[in-house]
Amino acid sequence: MRVSKKPFLFSIIIGLLLTSFSYFFQPLMPFQSIAHRGASTYAPENTIASFEKAVDLGFDYIELDVRFSKDGHLVVIHDADVQRTTDGEGFIGDLTVDEIKKLDAGSWFSPEFAGEKVPLLNEVLDRFTGKVGLLIEMKAPENQPGMTEVLAEMLMSYKKDGQLVKNIKVQSFHVNEMKKFHKLAPDIPAGILLSKQLDMFHLASYRQFASFLSVHHLLLSKSFIKQAELFGYDIYSWTIKKQYQFADMQRLGVHGIISDEEKRLPDSRLYALITPFLKGQDFLKTLLT
């Protein structure tokens, strides 16, 4: 006995239409725009060029990563080794700053950026403080003794006109290191990166040292955000790579969106109507790949 596929397809179409209809009426909330490793769609990630592009595009914050060099300097780079984003080899922890500064961190992205260097955090602070906010991620601080202390001391001593610089925040996946950072630098906002949801107990306990949570966008829901807001958290979503996802995050009510590029598409009603179909296409692609 053959079962007709028409009722099944009809149900899918009706479901998409109802989803689109409800999506259409949800308000778009304002958000802080955060450039993921700088404007990394347009320039090599975690370089001065990508940070300058983020400023030019009007981002509110630059998100960047720091690691510890062999000689105890905070280096702006994402990976533990230099192979993917430079013309060199080796782990950051095995290289001195002089060795790291000899590397080309731009040619892998485009010949246009040949000769771009791996920056140090103090160089980024000197160049961009006051121009744009900085969201600094400590990469694997639990495996780099002294890193948290050096970062806390640097930021607490980094002042302009005798005042601590505003719009600098620090985050990490490692909870204990963020606890330590908060004790050492209580005036610098601290946050936890999350790749899984938190229960009410952890939301309450983390609030003793964290003021914001950076959450993978697929884990976010309105109910979670409302719970987090009860404890006073700001919620940032990471990492947005498609234009329709901006509106998704705005409708959820996140406070900041970490993305590779700026939001370009207008908040039009027509786009709101077709967004569920675009999401459906992406879902089918994931099933077929």
Residue 120 is classified by DSSP as B
* 280 C-beta neighbours (distance < 10 Å), count: 14
Active site residue 78: yes
Long-range contacts of 96-100 (CB under 8 A, 24+ apart): 96/69, 96/70, 96/71, 97/69, 97/71, 97/73, 100/69, 100/75
Identify any residues that bridge with 199 across adjacent strands, giving them in sequence order.
Answer: none
Q: Which of 36, 174, 182, 255 is catalytic?
A: 36
235 in Cβ contact with 220 (< 8 Å): yes
182 assigned to active site: no
Decide: helix, strand or coil at residue 115. coil
CA angle 186, 75, 185 (to 5 degrees): 5
CA max distance for the chain: 81
Quote the CA–CA distance of 140 and 252 in Å, as a whole number: 30
* Identified catalytic residue from 73, 78, 202, 217: 78
Please list the active-site residues: 36, 78
